[in-house]
């Protein structure tokens, strides 16, 4: 999934670093090789929208 995001212009961020997010930027973070969160930064004056999903391992 990370390589698909990068192929689509998303930039990986490090949770331990301070982020400098640009309007219109595409970003993602990973945690413990088991979670990935991708988002785009829009205009902060227009609020924000969020959607999420969860999948379990077949076992």
pLDDT in tens, 1-59: 899 999 999 999 999 999 999 999 999 999 888 888 899 988 878 877 777 777 776 65
User: Cα angle vertex 50, ends 10, 37, to 5°?
Assistant: 40
Position 44 scores a pLDDT of 79
pTM: 0.79
What are the structural domain ranges in the chain? Answer: 2-44
Position 29 scores a pLDDT of 93
Cβ count within 10 A of residue 8: 10
Position 57 scores a pLDDT of 64
């Amino acid at each position: 999934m990370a390589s698909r995001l990068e192929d689509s212009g998303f930039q990986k961020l490090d949770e331990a670093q301070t982020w400098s997010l640009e309007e219109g930027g595409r970003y993602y973070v990973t945690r413990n090789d088991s979670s990935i969160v991708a988002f785009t930064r829009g205009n902060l004056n227009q609020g924000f929208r969020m959607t999420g999903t969860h999948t379990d391992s077949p076992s």
